[in-house]
Every structure is written in C-alpha cells, then in structure tokens.
Chain A
Amino acid sequence: MEEHGECRLHPGLKKMVEQASRALALLDADRLEELALSCQALSRGLAAGAHADVASQAREAVGDMAVFARVLEVTRANLNVMRRLQDLRDGRLEYGVPQTKDWTRTENTHGDN
C-alpha cells in the first residue's frame, strides 16, 4: 500500500513502468487502472511545467519500457488465444467440435468442492 501511495505522490517514470510490467504479468487490473490515472496526473503535471528532471527520468526508464512493451505484446497474444478459445468453446468458430457448457457444471457451483 505504501508503494501505491508513494507512486501517487511522486510517480517516478522508471518505477511506474516497472510496476506496470509487474501488474500486467499478474493481471492486476485494479493496479493498472490506478497507474493509468497516475499517468494522466503526471501528464497534467508536466503540462504545468513541473518535474524538471523528467528527461533524465525518461532516459532511466527506457530499458523498462522495452520490458513493458514485450509484456504487453505477449499479453495481447495471450488475449487473442483466449478469445479464440472462447469462440471455439461457444461454437462460434467453424472448425472443431463445439464444446457445450454442460448443465452439470452449473450444478457444481455451490462451492462444495
């Protein structure tokens, strides 16, 4: 929690990018949405002329951005796989045997196992 608060107060670019990669790897959507808000705040701060050291922060963050870009790339690929999988299971794709979401599974939603 301390980390989140610290980020909101002073979202160092490098740290922000690191956190974004980590959050995306863990699919921490809440954290990512919070980071998106932080980015907007940072953007507004820059527009107001704050953070004179942003250029050096940007240089420090370049390597981490490369990591973030790769994680984003693999996430997109994974998402595509999952979307296709969902289509396949819902019988929306032409090939493959449609797998019905059999009624027996809904019977197992009591949390008893």
Chain B
Amino acid sequence: MGTINSAFILISGALDADQAALNIVANNVANANTVGYTEETPNSQENQPIEIGGVSYGTGVTETGATSVRDRVLTERLDQQQQLASASGSRLAALNTVQALFTPDSGSSSSTAGDIGSDITAFFSSFSALEANPTNDALRQKVLSTATTLAGDVSNAAASLNSQSAALDQEATGVTSQVNSLTGDIAQLNQQIQSTSPNADAGTLEDQRQQDLSQLSQLIGINQITTENNGLSIATTSGQLLVSEGSSFQLTTGSVSGVTHFYVGTTDITQQLTSGGGELGGYLTARDKDIPSVLSSLDQLAYSVSTNVNALNNAGTDMDGVTGTVANPLYIFNQPASGAVAGSASNMSVVMKDPNQIAAAALGQGTGDNTNAVAMANLANQSLIAPSATTTFSMTQNLDSAGGTATGNVTVYDALGKSYNATVTYTNTAPNTWNYSISMPDVISANTSVAGQVSYSFGAGETVNPGTNLTITGLAGGLPSTITAPAVTAGESLGAVGTAGTYADDLNNKLIGAGIAGVTVSTAGGVLTIQGGTGIAGNVIADPVASLNAAGTLQFNPVNGSLTSPAANVSGITFADLSDGASALNLDWSLFAADGSGNISQSAAPSSQSAQSQDGIAGGKGNQTPSDFFSSLVSTLGSTVSQVQTENTAENASVTQLQTQNSALSSVNLNNEASSMQVLERSYQAASQVFTMLNTIIASALNLGVETAVS
C-alpha cells in the first residue's frame, strides 16, 4: 500500500468513520432529553488488510452503524416490577377510598359509615334506656331514631361501596383501549424492526418498542417472548397472546351480570388479568375481591341485626297490647328474606313508623313490662353474626407425574366455632391417577397437663363429648387402660356425676363398667375434670384424640387434564360425630386448574399445564357480637391497606433502583456504570447491616418489653 492514492483512500475512510461517529454522538446530544431514547454508540469495523509481497498492509476502518446501549434483561425486570408497582398502586388507591368511608369524621355533624360502630352501641343502648321506663314515648322515639341512623349509615355505606365498584369497573374498562392501542403499535413496530434490523439493535425503533412495553407494563401484567429476527411476542401472565410478532389481538369487554369482563377472542380472561398485575390487575382486585369482601361483611351485619331484632320485637307485646303475626309482623327493620344475606346492607331501612309498635313487653305481659326490651338490649352482647369464615389452601402437582406426593393443611371450623386442622394428602399411583386422603384429628385440648388429670372447658349450651377414646395408663391389676368414651347424644349437657342422662354421669358409669376404680369424674363451672385416684401411683390420663378420615381416588383425563372420575364434583365431604357435639363439619372441596383457567372438576381444563389445586372451605370462625364484628371488619380492612401499602412502597423502591441502574447502563461513561453497580452493592450491604441491627434491637425490645442491651 505504498501509493499516495492508497493512503488517501485509507485516510478518507477513517475520516468517514469519524464523521459517522460524530453524527451518532450529535444525535445522542440532540436526544438527551427525549423520553425513552437510548444512547447509541458507533460501531467500527476493521477493513480487510491487503497483503503485498508477504507484507500485510492495513486498510483503515469503516463505520458500520450504531448500537443502542440497552439490556433487555434489565428492561424486562424493570417492566415486571413496574407491573407489580402499578397493580399495588391502583389497588391501594381504591382501598384508601374504602377505608376513608369507614373512618369516623369527628368534624362532621352528620352520621356516616364511619359511625356505624357507635350507631350499633347507640341503638342497643336505647333499649337499655327503655327498660327503665318502657311506656315512655320519648324513649320509644329514641329507639326508632337510633335505628334509622344505623340503617341509614349501613345502607349508605353499601351504596358507596357499590358506587366505588362501578367507578373501578369504568377505570378498568378505560384501560382496555389503551392496551389495544399499545399492542397495535408494538405489532407494527415488530414488522418494521424485523424488516429493517433483523440481526441488530433497531435503535430508535427499539426505543419506541421499549417505551410501549413500559407503558403496557403499567397497564397489565405481560410476559415478553423474543422471537426470530428481532421480533417480539407478548402474552398476558397467564399465557394469552396479545401480540404475536406483526399481529395484535384485541382485548374486548362484555357485561356479565352488570360487571365488565375482559376477553381475548372468546376467552374470558378476567380472572387471569386480576392476578396478572398492572393498573388493570389492581383495579380488578379491588373491584372483585376487596370491595365484595367488605360488602359481604356489611351484608352479614345488616342481616343479623335486622333479623334478630325483628324476631324479638315480633315475639313481644307492643304498647297497644298487640303481638306480631305472619300477616302483620311487628318489624323494626326491613326484613330480609330468609337466608338472603346478599343485599341486606343496601336494603337496610326502618319500616316501623309508630313507636308504640316497639314490643318492650314479653308475650302475654302487660304493656308496662320490660322483659322484651331487656332481651333486645342484651342482643348487643350476643353472638348474632352467623359463622362464615373461609380458609383456603392450595397445592400444585403435575397430574401425570409418577410417584408424586403433596400434602396441605387447612384450618376448618364447625358450627360451634371450634377449629380443626385437616390434612389433605395426594399420592400419585399412576399417571393421572391420584389417591387423596383427608384426615382431621378430632381434639379438645385439655386445660391442664397435670399427670393423672385432664380437664376440659365447655361453653354454656354446648353439648359435649371429650373424644372417642380416653387413655389411662399406669393402672394396676391388669385393668383396661383405654375406654371408649360414651357417645354424645343430641342435646346432651355436661351435667354432673349422679345426674342420670348427663354426659359426666355417662362417662363415670363407663369407667365403673370397665372396672376402673380410683378415677373420678367431676364437673364445675362448665369444666369437666377426670382425675386419677390418689391411691394409684403413676396414673396418667391422656387427652382424648380421634381422627376423622376420608379417602378416595381421582382420575384425570390425560389429554386435557379434566377430572374424569368421580364424575360428580367431589366437594362436600362431611365429618360427623365431632367431639364438641357439633352435628357435622362440611369441608367443601374443589379442584381447580393451577393456572386459574377453570375448575377442573367442572369443565375441561386447558390441558397440559396439568396441575391441580384445592380450596378447603368450611364453617365459621367463632361468633361475634355486632360491635365486635364491625370492629373486626374495620380492623381487617386496615390490615389489608397496610399490607398493600408495604408492597407498594417496596415495589416502587425496586422500580426506582432499577431505573437508576438502567440510566447508568445507558450513560456515556463506562466508569459511571461500574460505579452505579458499586453503589447498589454498597447500599445493599449497608442496608443489610442496618436491618440486622434494628431487627435485633426491636425483637429484643418487644420480647422483653424493656430497654435491651444489644452488643
């Protein structure tokens, strides 16, 4: 390459490359403030050297374009975190509105939903006041006015919740058009990128696509799948395609019982979108889960108060000596239809116009009697709210796996509010064949753990049976160490030894019949005590424990994963003869496709995601007074808000951190990038130290309740 011409070519090539690089730098500067623009760096390629006479001569460099400084792993992570943050953000906003509804407004003279707690107290207190002077007209008026306030606040709260739900429905619907617009744009960009830059970064086109993806991530939960030639497919987190390279699939809406559902094609994906993330996920979670939960509790409160108060008033005698009849009931509140809990809050109102119709007197008593007023005042302290707690558990297994086992636990409650821990075990015996067994220890825990003695507490009105077997060890003389406890009979009371027909007497007779001497049975204050005789050393009486079991086999269709046997839904396993005397405990039990796409037992599952999960739902968790129930409602709501707030704070922090890292990655200076990573490492390490120390200090202080020395 000894010629001047060659030298000029080499120099001009280098100048061209420099000029192209300068153009790229200039472009970076011009777009410094463009949202979503990613810094580009020039690529230079060494020209092929030429060889003359065994000597290799360089031919300079050629500019081959620009590469944007981006990393899809990081941007995808950022998008995912954005989805979570957006979901918790929109859900939190909705929850805050709901919580504000139940917050007392001390500055307001009018009563609101926040005053329901004090309304309940005022209403039942008005009956207490009436007790002293049951014929007093002003006191009777007071009963009706407090009832009106309570009913008004409850029904207004229900109306507000329904309005909020409708507003969320609107918000969620509004997201659809934004999603469709973005997926359409991304499909178009895919086409452009695939045709212009199939093997390299598409620069500003890719910037636009990333920008759209970021916006889409704020709206709904998505998964990104990179395809050939720099293409991209987008699916919902449950796998429903929204964009497949150059094609997009519209998200449509339809009304189901007045509620907007979301579809891709004909598939209803509302449930999947709810748990998927993004603003839409947050709106739907609040609309379909949070608000219905609060509304359901409010319905229960309204139903229980209305029906119980009405029943008592109807059974008493009013100021005119009248008692309620079917044709002319003496109802204070609008009476819900039997069992129709849903809608009770919205419909709660006072139907009684004449205060003389308040039945302060008991049936058959004169109008000056206050017996019924006393009973109604006492309702404030009674457990009016019917049990309704739900506990769930879930497990996931590949249906066609061989030899798999899965075990789950669920706490269930019987009608008396006693809890039981059921264990459900699934064992795979062949592909798509699973044996299930459900066992539930039927236990009443003893009050005492003194050797030779056990005692049990029973609430007023409970029928009793401490268990199937009572084990006594250490007996001399070859006496039987185990007796079968007497079976409980309906309505049987704890009673006392010596009183025929009572449980304690039956148990005592059983011990005598088994030849067990020196073991005494006694009752006092609702406590049953079984004690070893002092003359028999080493007697131990163990807690009676029994297990209830159910078992069977489930057969699944190997093609689509649907449940083929048993043919009917397997829900509704019933356990009877419970130790606390409750008549039965129903464990409602269903099988669901693990991806939430449908109930396997009810309809064909979309096949080979092949998994199962179960929900255990049973009974109620204790009964509560109206005031306690409302307090619990507010407290549960507060706890949910707090939990979502925590999630949202953390997710936003995560987004902030990732944005910092992403900026560093796109920065012009490699040193900045390394430094940013170091800052992340340093921050994490320092925060870990802070957390560890604070956690120790706080845990110690809380455990000891006093100032704590921490080294």
Contact = CB atoms under 8 A, between A and B. Distances in A.
B454 to A, nearest CB: 37
A46 B686 contact: no
A61 B41 contact: no
Interface stretch (B145-153, B547-555, B674-682): B674-682
A104 B710 contact: no
A81 B684 CA distance: 13
Given A32-B683, A54-B701, A105-B670, A43 B693 contact: yes
Contacts of B687: 20, 23-24, 32, 68, 71-72, 75
A55 B704 contact: yes
Given A47-B710, A63-B642, A101-B670, A82 B680 contact: yes
B690 A108 contact: no
Interface stretch (B283-291, B495-503, B578-586, B646-654): B646-654
B652 A62 contact: no
A69 B691 contact: yes
Contacts of A24: 653, 683-684, 687
A74 B677 contact: no
Contacts of B292: none
A39 B691 CA distance: 9
Interface stretch (B48-56, B358-366, B657-665): B657-665
Interface residues of A, number: 67
Interface in A96-113: 101-102, 104-109, 111-113
A79 B702 contact: no
Taking each of A46, A73, A74, which has the highest tally of chain B beta carbons within 10 Å of its own beta carbon? A74
Nearest to B705: A55
Interface string B23-46: 001101100100000000111100
A33 B656 contact: no
A102 B651 contact: no
Nearest to B687: A24
Interface string A20-39: 11011111110011011001
Contact of B74 (A32, A35, A47, A81): A81
B199 to A, nearest CB: 11
Interface string B685-707: 01111110111011001101111
Contacts of B568: none
Given A46-B697, A67-B650, A85-B71, A76 B684 contact: yes
B710 A43 contact: yes
B657 A112 contact: no
Contacts of A112: 25
B32 to A, nearest CB: 8
Nearest to A48: B709
Nearest 3 A-B pairs (CB), nearest first?
A25-B653, A70-B650, A32-B686
Interface of A: 13, 16-17, 20-21, 23-29, 32-33, 35-36, 39-40, 42-43, 46-47, 49-52, 54-55, 57-59, 61-63, 65-79, 81-82, 84-86, 88-89, 101-102, 104-109, 111-113
